[in-house]
Structure formats: C-alpha cells, structure tokens
Amino acid sequence: MSQNKTFIEFHEALLKLSHNPDFIGDNRSRKLASLSDLAGQLLQVDRVSIWQMNATGDRIDSEALYRLEGGHDYQPIALVESDNPAYFRALRTARVIDASEAHSDPRTAAFNETYFEPLGIHSLLDAPIFDGGRLSGVICLESLRRRTWTLPEISFATAIADTISLINTHEAWIRSQKQLAYVTHFDSLTGLPNLQSFRERVLHLIQKMRQRAGEGFTLIWIDLDRLKSVNDGMGAAGGNRVIAEIANRLRSLYLNGRDKVARVGGDEFAVLIRTNTDSDRIDYVIHQIQHCISDPLVIDDRTLRMTASLGVCRYPEDGGDTESLLRSAEAAMYHAKENGRARMQAFSSEIHSTARSRFVLEGELRQAIQNNALDVFYQPIVNTADAHMVSIEALVRWHHPEQGWMAPIEFLDVARNAGLMQDLGEVVLRRVCQDRQQAASRGHPLPITAINLAAEQVMDDRLPRQVQEMLEQYGVAGSELQFEVTEDAIKGDSKSMQATLNELVALGSRLSIDDFGTGYSSLSRLKHLPFSRLKIDRSFIRDIPDDADDIAITLSILGLARGLGMEVVAEGVETEDQRQWLQQQGCELLQGYLFSKPVPIDQLRSLHSNPLRSAL
Ligand code: C2E
Ligand code: CA
Ligand code: CA
C-alpha cells in the first residue's frame, strides 16, 4: 500500500472512532481503551500504553494498556523523572520518540534492564500529549520485532496524542463549569444555596405561577440578632460556627420538599414556603424557625442563646417580581429589628425600604453597570530608582447619586452577592479601553494599565474572548494591558483556569499576582502559572521598617520572586522610610500614596512623565 493510502486509512479510522456517539459518551478509561485498541490493531504493534503526567510534571502514571496478544490489562506503574531524565527531556522537546533500537537509543536506554529485556521489546514509538503548552502525558507503541517507523505511522501516533489532548481539554472544561456553577450558587461555609441561587429560584417560581394563575408563595427573611457581639467575644471563627450550626438546623427543619432554605448574607438566611394562603402552615414554619434558632448552642463550652428577626412577605400580594419581593421581605425584617428584635414582622404597605437596604443599593448598582456608569480611577506604579511612572492600575469607582464617590469596598460585596462581578469587570475593561483609545487619539497615550480580575472572571473561560473583542473594538494592543489576580482567585486547581490565564498571556498581556502573602500559593503552583509580576500586599508594607515579622515576610517574598524570575511591586508605600528600605532590598516597583492616590484620568496627565516625588 502506498504511504498516502495508508495515511488516509489511518486518519479515517481515527475520525470514525472519535465521532462515534458511543465513543463520545464513554467515560475516560473506555475512551482510552478504544484508542489504544485502534492504534494496536492498525499499526500491528504488540503493546500500546497511555500515561498521564502528574501536576508537578516529574512523574507519569500508566492509565491504559493494550496487548495484541491478550487484549486489555491494566497495572498501575509510575515512572519518575529522576530515574529517567533523558526520556523526560525527550518527551518535553520531541514531537515523537521513534526508536528502532530502543535498548541502545540514548533517550530510552535506561529502560533496558527493567523493561525492554524482560518483555522482549525491540522498537518503540512514543508520542507526547500536550494540553496547550503543558506536557500532560504520552502514548507509547511498542513492538517485539524491529520496526522502522514510517511517516504515516508517526503521524497517526501524534494524531492519537492530539485526540487524547482534546479529551483532557473537554474534561477540564466540564470540571470548570461544575466548579463555576458551584461557587456561583453555593455558600462555602454552610453548603446552602446562596443569594444568587435563591433569587433564581424565586424568579423561576414567579414565572411558573404566572402561567398557572392562582397559587403563590411566602418568603421569610431571617437576620440573626447581635451576631456582632458573638464575633467580638469569640472571634470570627466563633461567629462562623454559630452560623454553620444554625444553617444545619434550618436545613433539617421540616420543610416540604419543594420549600427552600438559603444563606443570603453574612448572618442572613431566607426560606421559601410554597403557599401564600395556608396561614396555619406559614405560622407553623415561622414558629419552627424561631424555635430552632433560639435553642441553646454550645460552642467552646459556652452556651449561647441566639435570636433572629424575621420579615415575611407573600407573592403576589407584597411584590410582583423578584426584586420587589426581596426588598419587601428585607424591609419587614428591618422593621422587626427596630421594634426590639427577636420578633416577626409581616410586610404591609406602611413599611418602606430604608437606606440601609442592600437591595436598594443593589438595584442602583445593577442599573449603573447596565448603563456603563461606573468610573475608573488610576493609580501610578513607579520605578523605585527614579520615581517615574511605568504603569498605572485601574481601580473602579462608583459615583452614587446621593452618596457621592464610593470606593470598591463599599459595593464590591454587593456586586458579588448579586452575581454581578463578571458584568462589573466587563464595564471596567471597556472603560479602560475607551480611556486608552481616547488618550492616544489626543496624542497622550496612557502608560500600560493593570486591571483587576475577580475570581468569577478568571473562572469563566469566555474571558479571553471577551478581552480580545474589546481590544479589537477599541484598537488596543494586548501588551498595553496587564491583569491582576489575587491568590484566592487561583487557589483551585483547574486546568481551564490555567488555560484562561495562558490565553490572556497569548494576547500579549502580562499577569500579576495581587495581594501576595495574604492567601495560599505554593511555590510549585506559582511556577506553573504564567505570572510575571507579584504585588506584595500592603498589610506587610505598612509597618516596615519597624516590624520584624513584616520585614522577614517581605524579604522572603522578594527572594521567592527573584528565584522565580518575577518582578515585584510593593503596594501601599506611604512613607519615605518605606521607600528607602524597599529600594535597599532591590524591590523594583512601588505603588502608594507617597507617589499618588488613585486619580481620575484627567488628573493623571499632570502626573504623567514627571518623577512623582519632587524630592528625588
Ligand atoms: P487592590 O487591587 O489591592 O488595589 C489597591 C488598593 O489600595 C486601592 O484601593 C488603592 O486605593 C489602595 N492604596 C493604594 N496605595 C495606598 C496607600 O499608600 N495606602 C493605602 N492605605 N491604600 C492604598 P481601592 O481602590 O479602594 O480598591 C480596593 C480593592 O478593590 C482593590 O485592591 C481590588 O481588590 C478591588 N478592586 C478595585 N477595582 C476593581 C475592579 O475593577 N475589579 C475588581 N474585581 N476588583 C477591584
Ligand atoms: Ca490590584
Ligand atoms: Ca493589591
């Protein structure tokens, strides 16, 4: 058979398999078994095995084994890099390892005594599997007789490796979707659905009930009284245990299968009951809730008695849509609190939302996001040596009609609870690109701009597309932007999050780890993520050069960054002493009030291109 014909035959067989619905629906191990069967039969090799690389990239574990004589078998075997350095090097650099004389080939000779000789293997053809840029495994074809591998065979082996890589990517995607669905819908302390999830449930019920007129439901808003004094007395951990215990009790309350409990805020819960008319049942549930909260709690040998204020409203009587129902229930709850706590208040038309209401603020924020009405201030990041501005950080601001300029701390939690972080991030990204385009068209291009990404954005694999479209729309190059991600946002170990970060880098943007030192990042993980800059959290800088612990931490962060070849920015530099100390330690970049506060874009220009401290 001509090589071309063989080539086509191989690839057709692979296409047929990989498009077969049964194959697509199979689990991973059956997919790998089918692929190794196919490779074994078509190439007539004696053994086919598939191996997976571990997370740190120094060991491969067998996942599947096929034998021409004897079909499938699986034995867990591991190969570590330190025993076989030449082989691992070849995996990382070669497209394939095609060894006709495996026992004497420098790349594979180390396996001779323990593997080739006992099994009688003469020739092998190994194709590394790459997921994006990362080596994730290898497929090995082994033959007892001597083989000189042909071009179609080599191309077939790499095509199978690519198919396995597609399987990996697809699995990572599914995992990240699940993870995203989980973090966006469940509260991590109690495992209860969160506000966003509760809101979706309410909306769903309203839609259902509009179709089948007649029925309604009741919404109970629960706010624990005086949780703050528990936090003050027993620490935040004590407060968390109270919340977790009460969450457990609420969960095990007798609620009809269709009713629903959620944790909708720090010390707030909500319950949905599927009736608006059965007042006996409503009273009964309210009583149960009050009872389960006031039952004594024992925490660290202390007995606590908690109470809660309850606000109750009904659909459709007290609100015709999700937002007005939440507002009514919350307003009723505040009323109960004002009347002396530990009581229940049903909503009535005399009760109005107060300025404290988070839903009022949330509604306004939602509106501001929809109208692109958030603003961005910029804070310079300067060169330590000469205090010249080298880049700027974009920081979101909200000009509230009554409350004036609001800092992120005043509204980011509201946005997060309302599931608005992705939308907010998009508004900021757009504003930054617009500002850049406008500044450039006026002949005053802006310095490279760092944008903060929320965890919700980093976990969304649509982010790189969104960034790319925005760059194109406003004629901005990827290299003009940097992205800052906190340690917390990257703490999961998802391949798709890694892929998202890599795609941002591929657009030309550099990535920084923000607030470094406050979260958990292991050195080995950092090494594998595409960050090129690290920002030391300002809590470590504040007491420098007086606090010995902070000095030790900062020095070790600087050392760590140097070892990883990363640039370091010290945040929150407010004093000359801090600046001098950081300069002596070789920290290249600084940010803080000493140089400038975050300012609106038109004030940035006057700072531009001058050293930011005239003393220098
Ligand atoms: P961050 O990313 O650590 O931003 C730096 C914060 O430190 C800014 O607060 C800045 O005003 C403040 N800061 C800078 N220099 C000094 C200093 O010398 N002393 C003191 N005391 N503070 C200083 P800001 O603007 O209030 O932002 C707070 C946080 O909100 C940011 O912390 C960031 O985590 C988040 N944030 C801000 N804008 C965005 C955004 O567009 N998207 C997302 N996801 N988060 C944002
Ligand atoms: Ca930041
Ligand atoms: Ca920071």
What is the β-pairing status of strands 123-131 and 134-143? antiparallel
Model pLDDT, residue 493: 64
Measured from the CA of 594, which atom of ligand 1 is nearest?
Answer: 18
Model pLDDT, residue 74: 64
Which residues sit opposite 453 in a β-bridge? Answer: 485
481-518 burial code (b ≥16 CB/10 A, e <16): bbbbbbbebbebebbbbbbbbbbbbebebbbbbbbbbe
Tell the residue nearest (CA) to atom 45 of ligand 1. 452
Cβ pair 305, 297 in contact under 8 A: yes
Strand runs labelled E in 284-363: 297-299, 302-304, 308-315, 344-346
Tell the residue nearest (CA) to atom 19 of ligand 1. 572
CA atoms 12, 15, 16, 17: torsion sign: positive
User: How far is ligand 2, taken at its centre, from the CA of residue 56, in Å?
Assistant: 28
User: How far is ligand 2, taken at its centre, from the CA of residue 393, in Å?
Assistant: 7
CB within 6 Å of ligand 1 — which residues? 379, 395-396, 407-409, 412, 425, 428, 452, 454, 484, 514-515, 538, 571-574, 591-593, 598
Return the DSSP state at 479.
G
Measured from the CA of 537, which atom of ligand 1 is nearest?
Answer: 3
Of 28-32, 420-424, 594-598, the poorest mean pLDDT is in: 28-32
Tell the residue nearest (CA) to atom 34 of ligand 1. 452
Q: For residue 604, give the H/E element and its range.
A: helix 601-607
Tell the residue nearest (CA) to atom 46 of ligand 1. 452
Tell the residue nearest (CA) to atom 35 of ligand 1. 408
Query: Would you list the domain boundaries of the chain?
Result: 3-182, 195-347, 371-615
User: How far is ligand 1, taken at its centre, from the CA of residue 598, in Å?
Assistant: 9
Q: For residue 405, give the H/E element and its range.
A: strand 404-406
- Banded pLDDT at 499 (limits 50, 70, 90): very high
User: How far is ligand 3, taken at its centre, from the CA of residue 569, in Å?
Assistant: 9
- Banded pLDDT at 476 (limits 50, 70, 90): very high
Measured from the CA of 407, which atom of ligand 1 is nearest?
Answer: 26
- 3-class DSSP state for residue 401? coil
Tell the residue nearest (CA) to atom 7 of ligand 1. 572
Which residues sit opposite 50 in a β-bridge? Answer: 64, 139
291-325 burial code (b ≥16 CB/10 A, e <16): ebbeeebeeeeeebebebbbbbbbbbebbeebbbb
User: What is the radius of gyration, based on Cα positions, of the chain?
Assistant: 30
Model pLDDT, residue 613: 58
Q: What percent of the chain has pLDDT over 70?
A: 94
User: How far is ligand 1, taken at its centre, from the CA of residue 573, in Å?
Assistant: 13
Question: Is 371-615 a CATH 3.40.50.2300 domain?
Answer: no
* Architecture of the domain made up of 195-347: 2-Layer Sandwich (3.30)
The bound ligand whose nearest atom lies closest to the alpha carbon of 484 is 2
Tell the residue nearest (CA) to atom 21 of ligand 1. 572
User: How far is ligand 1, taken at its centre, from the CA of residue 599, in Å?
Assistant: 12
Model pLDDT, residue 457: 94
User: How far is ligand 2, taken at its centre, from the CA of residue 452, in Å?
Assistant: 5
Does residue 172 surpass a pLDDT of 80?
Answer: no
User: How far is ligand 1, taken at its centre, from the CA of residue 479, in Å?
Assistant: 22
Opening angle at CA 439, ends 535 and 401, nearest 5: 75
Measured from the CA of 515, which atom of ligand 1 is nearest?
Answer: 3
Backbone angles phi, psi at 104, to 5 degrees: -110, -5
33-69 burial code (b ≥16 CB/10 A, e <16): bbbbbbbbebbebbbbbbbbbeeebebbebbbbbbbe
Q: Do you find a cis peptide bond into 316, omega within 30 degrees of 0?
A: yes
Tell the residue nearest (CA) to atom 10 of ligand 1. 598
- 3-class DSSP state for residue 522? coil
Residue 487 in tokens: 């340690």
Residue 590 in tokens: 């600084």
Distances (CA, A) of 221 to 274, 293, 596: 15, 13, 44
C-alpha span between 424 and 202 (Å, rounded): 23
Q: Which amino acid makes up residue 186?
A: F
Does residue 614 surpass a pLDDT of 50?
Answer: no
Tell the residue nearest (CA) to atom 3 of ligand 1. 515
pLDDT in tens, 556-588: 788 778 777 889 999 999 999 999 999 999 999
Which residues, 6 or more positions from 72, have their beta carbon under 8 angstroms from its beta carbon?
33, 64, 65, 66
Does residue 220 surpass a pLDDT of 90?
Answer: yes
The bound ligand whose nearest atom lies closest to the alpha carbon of 394 is 1
Model pLDDT, residue 615: 41
**If 0-12 CB within 10 Å is exposed, 13-18 middle and 19+ buried, where does residue 13 land?**
middle
CA atoms 257, 262, 268, 274: torsion sign: negative
The bound ligand whose nearest atom lies closest to the alpha carbon of 395 is 1
User: How far is ligand 2, taken at its centre, from the CA of residue 560, in Å?
Assistant: 20
- Banded pLDDT at 515 (limits 50, 70, 90): confident
CATH class (in words) of the domain with range 3-182: alpha beta
Neighbours of 275 (CB within 10 A): 18
Measured from the CA of 425, which atom of ligand 1 is nearest?
Answer: 42
Residue 441 in tokens: 């068209």
Measured from the CA of 486, which atom of ligand 1 is nearest?
Answer: 34
Q: Do you find a cis peptide bond into 545, omega within 30 degrees of 0?
A: yes
User: How far is ligand 3, taken at its centre, from the CA of residue 454, in Å?
Assistant: 12
pLDDT in tens, 406-465: 999 889 988 988 889 999 999 999 999 999 999 999 998 999 999 999 999 999 999 999
The bound ligand whose nearest atom lies closest to the alpha carbon of 537 is 3
Q: Which long-range contacts (CB under 8 A, 24 or more apart) does 590-596 make?
A: 590/381, 590/382, 590/383, 590/384, 591/379, 591/380, 591/381, 591/382, 591/393, 591/535, 592/538, 592/541, 595/380, 595/382, 595/387, 596/379, 596/380
Distances (CA, A) of 503 to 27, 164, 488, 507: 28, 21, 20, 6
Cβ pair 221, 310 in contact under 8 A: yes
Mutation to probe ligand 1, out of 470, 518, 571 (largest number of atoms < 8 A from CB): 571
Does residue 616 surpass a pLDDT of 60?
Answer: no
Neighbours of 17 (CB within 10 A): 18
Pinpoint the alpha helices (H) of 44-150.
85-93, 117-119
User: How far is ligand 2, taken at its centre, from the CA of residue 474, in Å?
Assistant: 23
Q: What percent of the chain has pLDDT over 90?
A: 57
Measured from the CA of 484, which atom of ligand 1 is nearest?
Answer: 2
Q: What is the 3-state secondary structure (H, E, C) of 536-566?
A: ECHHHHCCCCCCHHHHHHHHHHHHHHHHHCC
C-alpha span between 414 and 358 (Å, rounded): 7
Model pLDDT, residue 380: 96
Measured from the CA of 376, which atom of ligand 1 is nearest?
Answer: 41
Does residue 496 surpass a pLDDT of 80?
Answer: yes
Tell the residue nearest (CA) to atom 37 of ligand 1. 395
Which residues sit opposite 190 in a β-bridge? Answer: none
pLDDT in tens, 336-384: 988 888 899 999 888 876 656 777 888 899 999 999 989 999 999 999 9
Q: What is the mean pLDDT of the chain?
A: 88
User: How far is ligand 3, taken at its centre, from the CA of residue 393, in Å?
Assistant: 10
Does residue 542 surpass a pLDDT of 50?
Answer: yes
Measured from the CA of 451, which atom of ligand 1 is nearest?
Answer: 41
Tell the residue nearest (CA) to atom 42 of ligand 1. 452
Higher pLDDT, 357 or 272: 272
pLDDT in tens, 72-87: 666 778 899 999 999 9
Model pLDDT, residue 76: 79
User: How far is ligand 3, taken at its centre, from the CA of residue 22, in Å?
Assistant: 49
